[in-house]
Structure 1
Amino acid sequence: MSLWKYLTPVLLISVQICKAQTCDEFTDLDFKHAFLGTSVSVKLLLYTRENVSCGLPMSHTDLSATPNFNVSRPTTFIIHGFRPTGSAPVWIGEFSQLLLERKDMNVIVVDWNRGAANINYVKAKENTLKVGENLTALVKVMQNNGVSLESIHLIGISLGAHIAGFTGAKLNGSIGRITALDPAGPLFTGGSPEERLDPSDAQFVDVLHTDIDALGFRQAIGHIDFYANGGTDQPGCPLTIFAGTAYFKCDHQRSVYLYLESLKRICESRAFPCSSYRDFLDGKCLDCSQFGPPGCPIFGYDVIEMKDTLLKMGQTKTYFKTNPQSPFCMTTYTVHIMTWNKEVHFGYITIKLHSGSEEAVAITDHQASKFKKFTETKMLAHFDSDIKGPVDKLSLTFTTGNVLKPLYKLRVLRLRLTPMETKERPLCRYDFTLEDNKKITVRPIPCEDNNF
């Protein structure tokens, strides 16, 4: 038996060990490091389709020293934010993998945990400028090696959003795209555009806001700004401090999970341009004609497809609602109701759509609707899921929400439900009565006209 037969398994094991040694991981610190404070040190981890789960340490100055980096591919950076406990972000691995599933690219995870891990937020905020300078130098090296600035996408979370802005500003706004996921508000709010992210930092800047009343930035600072659930109090997040750390970080962190879902293409969240969240909920902002045939923009990774249209429109603020957990997307219908009660009534409507075993529920509860005789009442209904088949039944419940007053009956002359996101025909029902707190189930029929 030849010596080669014995050596082959050993060599294979050796190669595997060598390969394993080339992989690196995100810096995982603990509260001790954050308490003592950390100074800035930026580590770059490269992921490609050749090494989806193996982060290759990347040189800041010599691209040829980094295996698998390809200058002809687009490059996406993931830049995390403040890490007050020093732990690694739980979502970082999934984020890079989902990007690589979407496109053959270089994904660079910017690990600045040594600098972000600090209970002193002021110090971490100061460190963002140094990280921005570091990334600017790297991008210039990439440019000198033939990488097109237009092919670079910076995705920044919280403080990372402003790091992306500093980097883009130093490069005169030539970067192709910056995506900001709930950009940090504390110590940035009220600052000049030079001191934070702004639309001039890249050719296209899209922003998601999920915690504008605490850790996030309130004002619109992109070419398009998405406000999920108005930008505050995300469904499913704790409402009291008794929930522990989740109370402080859940709304802020929801921005990442909403964006990850857009990468998965599980469903779509259509966002509507509006001056305020209240007007959006009242159904006053449903005109999508200004965006052309595609209609109102879909939140997430693919909004870049509407870049040219959005740039022509200037800064655009949009709103959408989500479910408390994944799938977060909701389906929007307009609801028109005309009643013939002699007296004016106020109340809320819960609507359930049925299609075989499928169900979808919408509760119009942000404020009581006014029902006046022969006057059309318009509402916006957000259903928790999308009914794929034809709707064969409607369940409706009317409630005044006031247990101290007599129970009312709402005499409905006409009901019309119109899907906002498809070209399906509206659903109608005529001449029925809703009793306070009593559910009724009816079958929809074709609408008698198109001018309800």
Structure 2
Amino acid sequence: MLPRRLLCLLGLLVLCRGQEESLPGESCDNFTDLDFSHSFMGTSLYVRLLLYTRSNLGCGQELRHRHLSSQPLFNLSLPTVFVIHGYRPTGAPPIWIDHLVRLLAKQEDMNVIVVDWNKGAANLNYFIAVTNTRQAAHNLTSFILTMQEEGASLNSVHLIGMSLGAHLAGFVGASLKGKIGRITGLDPAGPMFAGATPDERLDPSDAKFVDVLHTDMNSFGLQGAHGHIDYYANGGFDQPGCPKTIFSGKSYFVCDHQRSVFLYLCALNQTCSLTGYPCSTYNDFLDGRCLQCEAFRPASCPMLGYDVSGWRDTLLRLGQTKAYFSTTATFPYRKASYRVDMVTWNQYLRWAVVYIKLHSGRSATETRIDHKLFRFEQYTSTRLLAQFDEDLHPIQKISMRISTGNVIGPRYKIRLLRIRLIPLDRPDRPLMCRYDIIMEENMDVAFRPLPCDSYP
């Protein structure tokens, strides 16, 4: 069955069709812009391949399927990235296509080819769009084989697919026996693919390297692990800042799913970095059990984005890897993450939620670590993952408080023999320590952090 969100969305599309400006110039070949009537009546599949390079970022050039080496701007010796959109129920062009093309071109000199299968994806009947992915994949496979015949290397081919486009990319890779260099799946579509066998969806054997980002596994996205590395933003389910009720209109249905594209765009931007921490489960990640990435040293933990050279070989050696990260609600999405190690000394067992606030000048940022109650007892080491919406530096003061949920009776106290904060994403910054602190329930205790190397 289709998710309830998808069924409800189809009833709202007439009221919320997106718009995007066409590329300028009569000589440009633009992405097919259909209106809602096309989706209502249905369209016959037609695949167009629009080439963009650093020389024509604002003006796509449609490629023919033959004599590729003689076509202007198409350099078969360069890497080629194919951008593949998903289901388009309104027929409007994806708002993110132009942004993705431009950011990819900044990574290195390459051919960026937008796979425009809007005639085939634009249909109120989602089942027809799913069926069309196979035929569109056959068309794209033939084109890539022609590239190979004319001198291109399959290893230099990278397919980036959003939603249904991720499975379309997988079908292409399977047809080419997994010999293409890479496939990136952005929240692969879940409806009609849940429970599918590997040959019926994207899977690691479809390319030499497959990376997947999940943001909406409980609705439009596909649950599970389907790449050499699967990134799960905020656990892969509900995304911060996305509406929680149907009264928000179209955004309620598509926000979590589309967040995969915006996180990937953010990752391609040099000012944004999203580090994934390999872990068995999201809860283990939140508990601070998977924050060191020993298997990847001397490189860092794997990061979402285009350049995977630092950890690709390690991932291929490890097999399928799950990696988790948390985000803020808005760009640049990146949270400031700290590992917090505490050694407690108190005679009686206490269970508590922990609040930590960082201060820098007049600015402050606070986090509540409340996904579970933490256990504090005598001579026990406790590790927490503290994530803040703002990255403040330098940290001049830290304040903490605990809440045990005790309503009646005396305020409980917890004595910390040591607390140490380790910046996870900023190894150049010093560790921060403090010793012998007594915290009383629901009361802030503030202290100035000291360099950890000042103490044994």
> What is the TM-score when the length of structure 2 is the normalising length?
0.90
Query: Structure 1 residue 179: deviation in Å?
Result: 0.5
SS in 2 for 1:22: coil
Partner of residue 420 from structure 1, selected from 424, 434, 446: 424
Do structure 1's residue 238 and structure 2's residue 243 form an aligned pair?
yes
SS in 1 for 2:307: helix
**Closer/same/farther in 2, CA of residues 247 and 44 from structure 1, 3 Å limit:** same
**Closer/same/farther in 2, CA of residues 155 and 304 from structure 1, 3 Å limit:** farther
Give the distance between the partners of 1:404 and 1:232, measured in 2 at CA: 37
For these two proteins, the number of residue pairs brought into alignment is: 432
Name the amino acid aligned to 2:119: R
SS in 2 for 1:367: strand
On the 8 A contact 1:56/1:66 being kept in 2, the answer is no
Name the amino acid aligned to 2:420: R
Name the amino acid aligned to 1:50: S
**Closer/same/farther in 2, CA of residues 406 and 246 from structure 1, 3 Å limit:** farther
Structure 2 unaligned residues grouped into runs of 5+: 1-23
Name the amino acid aligned to 1:415: I
Give the distance between the partners of 1:43 and 1:87, measured in 2 at CA: 15
Query: Structure 1 residue 360: deviation in Å?
Result: 4.1
Structure 1 equivalent of residue 398 of structure 2: 394
1:48-73 alpha-carbon deviations (Å, 9 max, x no partner): 11111111122122325642111121
On the 8 A contact 1:57/1:66 being kept in 2, the answer is no
Query: Structure 1 residue 144: deviation in Å?
Result: 1.5
1:216-235 alpha-carbon deviations (Å, 9 max, x no partner): 11111111111111100011
Give the alignment of 1:267-282 within 5 angstroms.
Answer: 267-282=272-287
Query: Structure 1 residue 197: deviation in Å?
Result: 1.0
Query: Structure 1 residue 82: deviation in Å?
Result: 0.7
Structure 2 equivalent of residue 290 of structure 1: 295
Structure 2 equivalent of residue 343 of structure 1: 348
Query: Structure 1 residue 322: deviation in Å?
Result: 0.9
Do structure 1's residue 70 and structure 2's residue 72 form an aligned pair?
no
Give the alignment of 1:203-242 within 5 angstroms.
Answer: 203-242=208-247
Percent sequence identity is: 54
Q: Greater CA radius of gyration, 1 or 2?
A: 1
Comparing 156-165 with 412-421, greater Cα deviation is found at 412-421
**Closer/same/farther in 2, CA of residues 140 and 450 from structure 1, 3 Å limit:** farther
On the 8 A contact 1:70/1:106 being kept in 2, the answer is yes
Query: Structure 1 residue 410: deviation in Å?
Result: 3.2
Query: Structure 1 residue 449: deviation in Å?
Result: 7.7
Give the alignment of 1:41-440 within 5 angstroms.
Answer: 41-64=46-69, 66-357=71-362, 359-387=364-392, 389-401=393-405, 407-421=411-425, 422=427, 424-440=429-445
1:142-163 alpha-carbon deviations (Å, 9 max, x no partner): 1111111111110000000011
Give the distance between the partners of 2:409 and 2:192, measured in 1 at CA: 49
> What is the TM-score when the length of structure 1 is the normalising length?
0.90
1:7-55 alpha-carbon deviations (Å, 9 max, x no partner): xxxxxxxxxxxx9322021112222221222221111111111111111
Query: Structure 1 residue 79: deviation in Å?
Result: 0.1
Give the distance between the partners of 1:404 and 1:134, measured in 2 at CA: 70
SS in 2 for 1:333: strand
SS in 2 for 1:138: helix
Query: Structure 1 residue 446: deviation in Å?
Result: 2.6
Give the distance between the partners of 2:155 and 2:455, measured in 1 at CA: 46
Name the amino acid aligned to 1:447: C
**Closer/same/farther in 2, CA of residues 59 and 404 from structure 1, 3 Å limit:** farther
On the 8 A contact 2:51/2:63 being kept in 1, the answer is yes
Comparing 249-258 with 376-385, greater Cα deviation is found at 376-385
Name the amino acid aligned to 1:24: D
Comparing 64-73 with 356-365, greater Cα deviation is found at 356-365
On the 8 A contact 2:52/2:113 being kept in 1, the answer is yes
Name the amino acid aligned to 1:418: I
**Closer/same/farther in 2, CA of residues 357 and 299 from structure 1, 3 Å limit:** farther
1:78-123 alpha-carbon deviations (Å, 9 max, x no partner): 0000111211111111110111112111110111111111111111
SS in 2 for 1:361: strand
Query: Structure 1 residue 406: deviation in Å?
Result: 5.8
Comparing 307-316 with 432-441, greater Cα deviation is found at 432-441
On the 8 A contact 2:300/2:310 being kept in 1, the answer is no
Query: Structure 1 residue 448: deviation in Å?
Result: 6.3
Query: Structure 1 residue 303: deviation in Å?
Result: 2.4
Give the distance between the partners of 1:51 and 1:404, measured in 2 at CA: 70
Name the amino acid aligned to 2:444: K
Give the distance between the partners of 2:277 and 2:106, measured in 1 at CA: 28
Name the amino acid aligned to 2:136: V
Query: Structure 1 residue 436: deviation in Å?
Result: 3.2
Query: Structure 1 residue 401: deviation in Å?
Result: 4.9
On the 8 A contact 2:69/2:150 being kept in 1, the answer is no
On the 8 A contact 2:69/2:76 being kept in 1, the answer is no
Name the amino acid aligned to 1:416: R
Query: Structure 1 residue 442: deviation in Å?
Result: 1.4
Name the amino acid aligned to 1:275: S
On the 8 A contact 1:59/1:65 being kept in 2, the answer is no
Give the distance between the partners of 1:349 and 1:144, measured in 2 at CA: 61
On the 8 A contact 1:350/1:363 being kept in 2, the answer is yes
Give the distance between the partners of 1:226 and 1:414, measured in 2 at CA: 33
On the 8 A contact 2:299/2:310 being kept in 1, the answer is no
Name the amino acid aligned to 1:94: H
SS in 1 for 2:367: strand
SS in 2 for 1:150: helix
Query: Structure 1 residue 402: deviation in Å?
Result: 6.1
**Closer/same/farther in 2, CA of residues 375 and 313 from structure 1, 3 Å limit:** same
